[in-house]
Structure 1
Amino acid sequence: MSRFRLVPLLALLVALLSACTVSVSGTAVIGTVEQVGPKGPVPAGLERFYSQPLTWSDCRAYIHDDESRTAFVKRDIRCARLTVPLDYANPGGREITIGVLRRQAAKARLGALVLNPGGPGGSGMSAAVSVATKAKRTELADRFDIVGFDPRGVGASEPRVRCLTGPEMDADRIDPPETTVADAEAENQDFAAKCAERTGVDVLANIGTRDVVRDMDVLRSALGEEKLTYLGYSYGTRIGTAYAEAFPGNVRAMVLDGAVDPLEDPAQQAIGQAQGFEKALADYFAWCAERPACVIKTKDDLRAKIDALETAPLSVGGRRLSASDATTGIAAALYSDDVWPVLSDALAGLAKGSGVTLMLLADLYLGRASDGEYSGSMDALIAVRCVDEPRLTDRAKLAEVATRVAEATKGSFLTDTDPPLPALDPCAFWPAPNTTEPHQPVVTGAPRLLVVSTTGDPATPHQAGVNLAKSLDARLLTYEATQHTAFLQGDECVDSVGIRYLVDLSLPAADMTCEG
């Protein structure tokens, strides 16, 4: 299973690389109760959830990690908890809560724009702060409440998925990769057992996209929206697609940016990511060629530096930078060319024997806070994928898949660092069954949607967007650049198309391309 998340990192990297520590104390939880639902269709037996009031209060009470500590101190945002059934098949049973954040429309409110940043495991609440900031002084911020939610099991939502403790995660990061199938499978089985023990099998059984889209429809009603206006990045495009399948008549508009191919299996995704990051690395070195600040200018030189960490990890403030962490930090910086100067500094440090910046990049990506605790985003990623995607338990098929991935990605930076081993992954030992599988989506009755796909996207290849647009009969907007996702990231062409669609429901007459 790929360790690289499908989530835009630029805003997080920029915010946290330059952030000061924010101290929060004595936060008063005094809220404003608002009841504007139910709106739209209400499934039988769920009336009390669809009609529930939301109590909007200071978001500082929802801080749970470094990312939210930076994001949730804005004065123009408010947060609330949405109550939903753990198991929609048993709405009278256990209840859980979903964290929700809102920045209200500046003027002439049209409705709520609900968003998800991807992952799985990314915080939609933190992402909403970033999107609201980027959208300021645009018609999008004027006309829409910007609303982000942390999917069940993630961030401020309760309960959170928990598999490894902070010290266990730190130890896992420095341990050399397993070299035998038996050892790898023992580790993966232990991971699955800890997830079951620390999170609960009932939570793991209801953590997938199937359940997130049900939560999103409850949120739509509680926000007072007859129909949903949605922005999904990366894995968030899978949530959007699944929502349009489950509730096609409840969709007003959707922008799906950085698409996940609905028919793609994990092996195909691993191949696409390895090839995508390889191209992004080549683009980075082309950018470096004429820049004296770039000390490491070729993949061979970088490979030698990473290989040296296998036997001699670098000391970083009482911790050690492993080859795996260095690779993670490099991959994180390849999500956007805006972060390439940070990567250049990180690699210059590596060449001088310092791993400080690479460790910081890896920590940000893996959700490690300054106190040594983790956000749980990586645990949630695995938990969601283990119920969303087909699990591979046939050893003959497993060997065939491992060979296919190895051959398709031979020589790539990521797979050279972490070569595939034909071992059963954690999902093969998962205590909960699949709740969905890759399939051809059917969205009969939904309006035409907008899919945005970037030609040099390392995490979600452009072709995945082409495929999703075809599957949904959606309009495709191609962006020519090297980065993961494009909407509201500074390109006037992409932003104008997306904003016009979300505000006026006006789409280009045909598929189109914006040049970066």
Structure 2
Amino acid sequence: MPRPRPVRAAALLSAALLALTTASCNGDGGNRGEDPADTANASTTQKLDWKPCPPPSRSEGGEAAGSPPGREWECATMRAPLDYARPGGETIGIAMIRARATDPARRIGSLVFNFGGPGGSGITTLPAFSDDYRTLRTRYDLVSFDPRGVGRSNGVTCMSDKELDAYYASDATPATRDEEKALVERIERYAAGCRKRSGKILPYVGTSNAARDLDLMRQVLGDDKLHYFGVSYGTELGAVYAHLFPKKVGRALLDAVVDPASDPVQSALAQAGGFQLALGNYMTACVRTSDNCPTEPQVTGLLDRLDKRPVPGGGGRDLTQSLATSGIAQALYSRDFWDYLTEGVEDAENNDGKILLALGDAMNGRGQDGRYSSLQASLTAITCADFAQRYTAAEVEKKVAEFRKVSPVFGDFMAWSLLQCTGWPVKGEWRTPDVSAKGSAPVLVVGNTGDPATPYEGARKMVQELGPGVGVEMTYRGEGHGAYDSGNACVKSTVDAYLLEGTVPGPNKVCS
């Protein structure tokens, strides 16, 4: 089941790509929790011990995630019930980070960020890109966290780094019965590894529990309402929070919106179409500035050849079809990486896979040191804890033609990814999440017409599902995954006015 990746994952590639190109059982999540006491009894009275932040952990990407944040950043660990059905039982540590408001006299409260994934580390992402939120910081403490099962918050692990290298390089689009059987066996081994290494927390990493963590966080931070900035999967988390705690919603932004009404098949089909649209937009823009732009037949031809004969990717590793497909998709998350995509495809056709391999590694959470963060393991664990659907290879095989029609480039890859939860040791909570939020304050929902990972139509569906008078739709006519960080002045000024002054834009506002 493909899910949106963190909006900022591609940006973390800059240094590595520049070097290459210049050198060549969920805890009762179904009921609302209007009363703060429902969240975590005595846990609500805990005092956070804020201290200077340590360097990023291995599960957050280690050295690849950058240096420790500057002195303005503080870190702490919040204790939350592992199982909210047993609030007095075992706890789990939720790692948090913050930078205090620069204009304390006008401080509104805390603004809590989730950058998506599921599986993205807020501890590393927020300080790395805090300049984008400098205006918001004037009146808010900027706060983010590693959700349960992510990074420092008991990040899920499933295999060794060497095993993961082989896993992500393996054929993900079987063409024969033998290849199909091998794919299923690999996925089942992966699930068994997750159970062996992280089985204790797997029943408790779903979105409903993360939403309850948000409400506990709100209370521990001393805020009467939760002010929230959710990106990609973070929009789903924010919407589930609004469903569980509608009266505790303050000012909430949902950017790069997940369609809450789609089941995994519908979501994967829409995402395949979104990446195909983004690829077409990239190719159209490319020919205006370059004479070596790839065509769709070139890309599909390259992937077909890599399926039979990988090319060297540097460091003793090969660029396979699976890694190249991931790399191409990763490059479509931001216009900033379109030039690298052009060069990466051309290089791969000339037997040099380094650029596409670096992009594919970013999608899979692999650092330059060869170590993997918890990104993809956490993504799988949260997805499979959320969704109850479990597909068989025979069911997927019947859908491949439909996926291929939607996307000649990404269709097969996205279809077979529906096997992600095959053999998973934990049952999923829902078939689609309930995000109805009657009684909530207005929630600003921003959709991007060129978004590859969370197609534009999801924003309208989110507004409908939140219910009358809650979701406020806004459109950005642009490219890339997300709107606020696109650099568009209209989007930024509208969102800032909402978050800082409470000014809700008129219905169906459009920025381009």
1:142 aligns with 2:138: yes
SS in 2 for 1:55: coil
Contact 1:296 1:302 survives alignment (8 Å): no
Q: After superposition, where does 1:96-175 map in structure 2 within 5 Å?
A: 96-107=92-103, 108-136=106-134, 138=135, 140-157=136-153, 159-175=154-170
Higher mean C-alpha deviation, range 384-393 or range 490-499? 384-393
1:412 aligns with 2:407: yes
**Cα drift, residue 359 of structure 1:** 1.2
1:434 aligns with 2:428: yes
1:447 aligns with 2:447: no
Map of 1:2 onto structure 2: 2
Counterpart Cα distance in 1 of 2:209 and 2:151: 17
Map of 1:253 onto structure 2: 251
Map of 2:23 onto structure 1: none
Contact 1:273 1:461 survives alignment (8 Å): yes
Unaligned segments of structure 1, at least 5 residues: 21-39
Distance 1:126 1:457, change over 3 A: same
**Cα drift, residue 143 of structure 1:** 0.7
Map of 2:351 onto structure 1: 353
Map of 1:485 onto structure 2: 482
SS in 2 for 1:60: coil
**Cα drift, residue 442 of structure 1:** 2.1
Letter of the 1:79 partner, please give it.
Answer: C
Map of 1:11 onto structure 2: 11
1:274 aligns with 2:268: no
Counterpart Cα distance in 2 of 1:155 and 1:167: 19
Counterpart Cα distance in 1 of 2:412 and 2:111: 40
Map of 1:195 onto structure 2: 194
Runs of 4+ in 1 over 4 A off after TM superposition: 15-20, 398-402
**Cα drift, residue 62 of structure 1:** 4.5
1:92 aligns with 2:91: no
Counterpart Cα distance in 1 of 2:428 and 2:342: 42
Distance 1:50 1:427, change over 3 A: same
1:313-355 superposed Cα distances (whole Å, 9 cap, x missing partner) = 1221211111111111111010122221222222232233211
SS in 1 for 2:72: coil
Counterpart Cα distance in 1 of 2:286 and 2:367: 31
Distance 1:347 1:67, change over 3 A: farther
**Cα drift, residue 400 of structure 1:** 5.5
Distance 1:411 1:300, change over 3 A: farther
TM-score w.r.t. the length of structure 1 is: 0.88
Counterpart Cα distance in 2 of 1:387 and 1:106: 39
TM-score w.r.t. the length of structure 2 is: 0.89
Contact 1:249 1:446 survives alignment (8 Å): yes
Counterpart Cα distance in 2 of 1:402 and 1:266: 15
Contact 2:324 2:360 survives alignment (8 Å): yes
Distance 1:351 1:210, change over 3 A: same
SS in 2 for 1:410: helix
Map of 1:288 onto structure 2: 286
Contact 1:237 1:256 survives alignment (8 Å): yes
Higher mean C-alpha deviation, range 357-366 or range 225-234? 357-366
Map of 2:42 onto structure 1: 48
Letter of the 1:5 partner, please give it.
Answer: R
Contact 1:387 1:435 survives alignment (8 Å): yes
Counterpart Cα distance in 2 of 1:125 and 1:419: 29
Counterpart Cα distance in 2 of 1:274 and 1:93: 42
Letter of the 2:374 partner, please give it.
Answer: G
Give the fraction of aligned pairs with identical amino acids, expressed as a percent: 36
Counterpart Cα distance in 1 of 2:492 and 2:316: 44
Counterpart Cα distance in 2 of 1:303 and 1:372: 28
**Cα drift, residue 45 of structure 1:** 8.1
Counterpart Cα distance in 2 of 1:42 and 1:144: 22
Counterpart Cα distance in 1 of 2:39 and 2:227: 25
Contact 2:4 2:454 survives alignment (8 Å): no
Distance 1:449 1:146, change over 3 A: same
Distance 1:15 1:146, change over 3 A: farther
Counterpart Cα distance in 1 of 2:420 and 2:236: 22
Query: Which structure carries more relative contact order (alpha carbon 8 Å, separation 6+)?
Result: 2
Aligned-residue CA RMSD (Å) = 2.4
Number of aligned pairs?
487
Unaligned segments of structure 2, at least 5 residues: 21-33
1:271-302 superposed Cα distances (whole Å, 9 cap, x missing partner) = 1111111111111111121333x524211112
SS in 2 for 1:455: strand
SS in 1 for 2:450: coil
**Cα drift, residue 67 of structure 1:** 6.8
